[in-house]
């Protein structure tokens, strides 16, 4: 069975159908439809303003859509937002870390919101703190932590309760190179047991961690395929190895910039 056939035979974890979001006169998401199978790791790519964060905020139940439907684990995100929130770990672009609380208190709050049994909370905090590498700062005031550590506290919050789906909006922003590597390894490890959507501007991050890539441009889906599928479609006849991440930069440039201008994304990091 091909990878695509295998993916198709897996149950759908996320189903988005004709999703549209309008902020007054601005169309941020335009008739977007896609399906993510259980256990897939999807890279969400697109230039600034493409509609990535808006889509993720709708999927996680934090923002209403103008029209269309979205389900997570079979629950409609508009009709059953609590069921959806219980099944999703969401790291937003700006993690909601209370700066006057300690990370431990922040994690206790999230555990409460996710209705974890009280007796399980202490152990769960230790587990996610270990995964996110924040054990040493659990009892410091979050406002005194570096941006990188706050980002990791946000990641730990997303991991509380071991949700089936993880939605990570630019998880490595603000981290130093060592931390970036650690978070990428962490995401790769999570990929084995979770369905993951990873929004990022860093193309190597996608090539290293994701099986499939969804590219948005001006609110519209311009492609959604495996890395091999993208290569076959957009660089036909080219011998490309997945270690050579320049191929993704080239494909991304073709998809979001018909003029052929170089993409802004990958080079910086």
Told to check if 48 binds ligand ATP by CB under 6 A, we report: yes
Q: Is 53 in the site for ligand ATP (CB under 6 A)?
A: yes
Q: How far is it, in rounded angstroms, from Cα 95 to Cα 137? A: 17
* Nearer CB in complex with ligand ATP: 30/83: 30
Among residues 260, 100, 220, 85, the alpha carbon closest in space to that of 163 is found at 85
60 part of the interface to ligand ATP, by CB under 6 A: no
Give yes or no for a contact between 269 and 260, defined as CB atoms under 8 angstroms apart: no
Q: Which residues pair with 198 in a beta bridge?
A: 43, 168
Stretch that binds ligand ATP, among 52-60, 77-85, 105-113, 220-228 (CB under 6 A): 52-60
- Residues 103, 135 contacting (CB under 8 angstroms): no
Q: How far is the CB of 54 from ligand ATP (least distance, A)?
A: 3
- φ/ψ of 193, rounded to 5, equals -120, -5
Q: Which stretch binds ligand ATP (CB under 6 A): 23-31, 115-123, 155-163, 238-246?
A: 23-31
Rounded least distance, CB 88 to ligand ATP, Å: 17
Residue 63 beta carbon to ligand ATP: minimum distance, rounded to whole angstroms: 8
Residue 161 sits in the site that holds ligand ATP (CB under 6 A): no
- Phi–psi pair at 18, nearest 5 degrees: 50, 40
Under the criterion CB under 6 A, does residue 28 sit at the interface with ligand ATP?
Answer: yes
**H or E element: which one contains 249?**
helix 246-256
Structure-token match 């501007």, residue found:
201
Is the CB of 32 or the CB of 166 nearer to ligand ATP? 32
Tokens 């089936």 locate to: 164
Which residues are paired to 42 by β-bridges? 197, 212
> Is residue 85 involved in binding ligand ATP (CB under 6 A)?
no
- Binding-site size, ligand ATP (CB under 6 A): 11
Residue 23 lies near ligand ATP (rule: CB under 6 A): yes
Stretch that binds ligand ATP, among 50-58, 84-92, 143-151, 181-189 (CB under 6 A): 50-58
Q: Which ranges in the chain belong to alpha helices (H)? A: 3-9, 52-59, 81-87, 103-113, 118-132, 147-159, 177-190, 203-209, 227-234, 246-256
Which chain residues interact with ligand ATP by CB under 6 A? 23, 26, 28, 46, 48-54
């Amino acid at each position: 069975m091909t990878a695509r056939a295998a993916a198709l035979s897996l149950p759908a974890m996320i189903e988005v159908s004709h999703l549209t979001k309008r902020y007054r006169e601005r169309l941020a998401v335009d008739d977007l439809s896609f399906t993510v199978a259980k256990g897939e790791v999807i890279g969400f790519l697109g230039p600034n303003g493409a509609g990535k964060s808006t889509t993720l905020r709708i999927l996680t139940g934090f923002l209403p859509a103008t029209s269309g439907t979205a389900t997570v684990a079979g629950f409609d995100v508009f009709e059953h937002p609590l069921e959806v929130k219980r099944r999703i770990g969401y790291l937003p672009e700006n993690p909601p870390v209370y700066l006057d609380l300690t990370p431990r208190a922040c994690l206790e709050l999230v555990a409460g919101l996710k209705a974890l049994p009280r007796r399980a909370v202490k152990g769960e905090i230790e587990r996610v703190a270990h995964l996110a590498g924040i054990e040493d700062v659990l009892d410091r005031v979050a406002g005194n932590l570096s941006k990188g550590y706050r980002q990791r506290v946000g990641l730990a919050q997303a991991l509380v309760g071991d949700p089936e789906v993880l939605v990570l909006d630019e998880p490595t922003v603000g981290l130093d190179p060592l931390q970036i590597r650690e978070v990428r390894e962490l995401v790769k490890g999570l990929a084995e047991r979770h369905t993951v959507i990873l929004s990022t501007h860093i193309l190597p991050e996608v090539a290293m961690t994701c099986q499939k890539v969804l590219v948005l441009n001006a609110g519209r889906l311009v492609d959604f395929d495996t890395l091999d599928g993208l290569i076959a479609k957009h660089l036909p006849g080219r011998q490309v190895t997945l270690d050579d991440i320049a191929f993704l930069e080239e494909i991304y440039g073709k998809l979001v910039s018909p003029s052929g201008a170089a993409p802004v994304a990958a080079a910086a990091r």
